Amino acid sequence: MESHDEEHAAKLLRAQTHIWNHIFSFINSMSLKCVVDLGIPDIIHNYGQPMPLSNLIASLPIHPSKTCFVHCLMRIMIHSGFFSQQNHDLENELEAKYVLTDASVLLLKNHPLSVTPFLHAMLDPVLTNPWNQFSTWFKNGDPTPFETAHGKMFWDYAGADPKLNHLFNDAMASDARFVTSLVIEKCKGVFMGLESLVDVGGGSENLKYVAGDMFEAIPPADAILLKITPVLGLRSLIKIYP
């Protein structure tokens, strides 16, 4: 009987742990946003060698009362794989030294494949708030949770909000650079024989208008490269993938 009770208690604890893990998983993404907003990846990179916590704290634009929390923030990021700690002196945590990982290198502002613009856009409150309306969206006739949260479609909202428009355009350009570099490197044969490449996505000032509706008909071309973004909305995705 006692063994059965212990097993039941262990199952309950595992279940609670699983639930809590999902409840608090937002801490990881918000901590990552905080690290990027504070410029920590660039600060450690510019230091040129493993950076002691004390030096990192001295380099951060934070209030003196918050310095004691930097160690906790870095522990979360180490656990998430964004930084690596080279020494583990439990008696003197100020001597902890941090280095970048492959993931945090992609968060450097001047990295040619930096994903920081994508992070800023996807974690902006305008794009995260719709997730709080997810259950409400299931109960109404709105095409997307974004419209439930903001009262208009994404494109209409972005067209009237310069900040979001800028964030989104930068995010798409950042993601396109990253994906395109890998596609060109790994799939060179696909592009052999092509004499020109035209960007019809817009937002980058390379091209102002392309005649027609790409959802209705695509202009003749030797090759077509489509990059689909879920932010178009469920109806748009259904049109693309009937």
The answer, yes or no, to whether residue 224 has pLDDT greater than 90, is no
pTM: 0.81
How many residues make up the chain in this entry?
A: 242
Fold exhibited by the domain 116-240: Rossmann fold (3.40.50)
Residue 202 phi, psi (nearest 5): 80, 180
Tell me the domain boundaries of the chain.
Answer: 2-105, 116-240
What confidence tens digit (pLDDT) does each residue in 128-157 have?
A: 999 999 999 999 999 889 999 999 999 899
- Measured between its terminal Cα atoms, the distance across the chain in Å is 57
Q: Let me know the angle formed at the C-alpha of 97 by 94 and 102, rounded to the nearest 5 degrees.
A: 145
Contact 30, 76 (CB under 8 A): no
pLDDT at 174 over 80: yes
188-222 per-position pLDDT tens digit: 887 888 777 766 665 566 666 666 666 677 777 77
Q: How far is CA 58 from the centre of its chain?
A: 27
Q: Does domain 2-105 have CATH number 1.10.240.10?
A: no
Q: Identify the sign of the CA torsion 212, 228, 108, 166.
A: positive
Q: Is 212 left (phi over 0), alpha (psi -120 to 50) or beta?
A: left
Tell me: pLDDT of 119 over 90.
Answer: yes
